Amino acid sequence: MTYGGLRVIGAGVLAMLCAWAGARLYANWHAQPLAEIRVPAGVASAPTASDAAAETALPPPRIPDALPAFSLDDLQGKSTPINTWAGRSLVINFWATWCAPCRREIPLLNILAGEWASQDVTVVGIAVDHRNQVLQFANQFKISYPVLIGEQDALDAAAKFGVASPAFPFTVFTDRRGEVVALFVGELHRPQADLIMSTVQNLDKGSLQLAEARQQIATGLDALATKS
């Protein structure tokens, strides 16, 4: 599947399941006070046929050309704008503690954060979840990269990337100029991460133009999907 420039929609079935879970959480947040929600980590019933049909009917994300402005609290409770890391390429991962694919991604994201730090790349996690759960989880799993936390404000941030109906996990890749190069929906794996991040590096070095980088990513992801 190509994404027509910006759109990268990966891991179709997984994305459907995560989007279903995210949409259910979104509905819960609008239907009852936050304090009343109890969602055990990783526990959800299987989607029904009607859930799947509703998800496939969702329009594709309207991905922005440039990184939108937003601020969320960090692990210490300090309001942190996303432009704190201006001038660096970003890997922005939207996740939640109750999302099993999100949890599986964290070891890879820890590795990427360490490997790419010297190349002016920063991994930023955005937890769309309750603060106390995120703090406990981040400590337990020893997350090494910056984590921002939000509830409705984090959902609003996701919507700025065109993901109005939450689909967790999803990951945004930007270059040093703050241009959104790719948006990958679903669980990120090493081959996809290496492809996208190496292409962003070539873009940052000036050996590629933005349109070329986006096309290379689309073509490369299609090839990887064909092999799987």
Chain segment 74-115, per-residue pLDDT in tens = 999 999 999 999 999 999 999 999 999 999 999 999 999 999
Length of the chain: 228
What is the chain's mean pLDDT, rounded?
Answer: 79
Chain segment 7-31, per-residue pLDDT in tens = 354 333 333 334 444 444 433 333 3
User: Percent of the chain, pLDDT > 70?
Assistant: 72
What domains sit in the chain, N to C, each tagged with a CATH number? 75-80+87-228 (3.40.30.10)
Q: Pick from 39, 37, 52, 44: which is nearest to 21 by CA?
A: 44
Angle of the 190-205 helix axis to the 100-116 helix axis, nearest 10: 40
Can you tell me the distance from the alpha carbon of 18 to that of 38, in angstroms, rounded to the nearest whole number?
A: 18
Statement: residue 62 has pLDDT above 80: no
- The pLDDT value recorded for residue 89 is 97
Residue 164 binned pLDDT confidence (cut-offs 50, 70, 90): confident
126-154 average pLDDT score: 95
Contact predicate 46/24, CB 8 Å: no
For residue 133, what are its two tokens? 């759960």
Instruction: Report if pTM > 0.85.
Output: no
198-215 average pLDDT score: 95
Higher pLDDT among residues 135 and 164, named by residue: 135
- The pLDDT value recorded for residue 64 is 85
Tell me the one-letter amino acid at 16.
Answer: M
For residue 118, what are its two tokens? 């010297």
Q: Which helix (H) or strand (E) holds 225?
A: helix 210-227
Which single residue is written with the structure tokens 């981040």?
A: 138
Statement: residue 219 has pLDDT above 90: yes
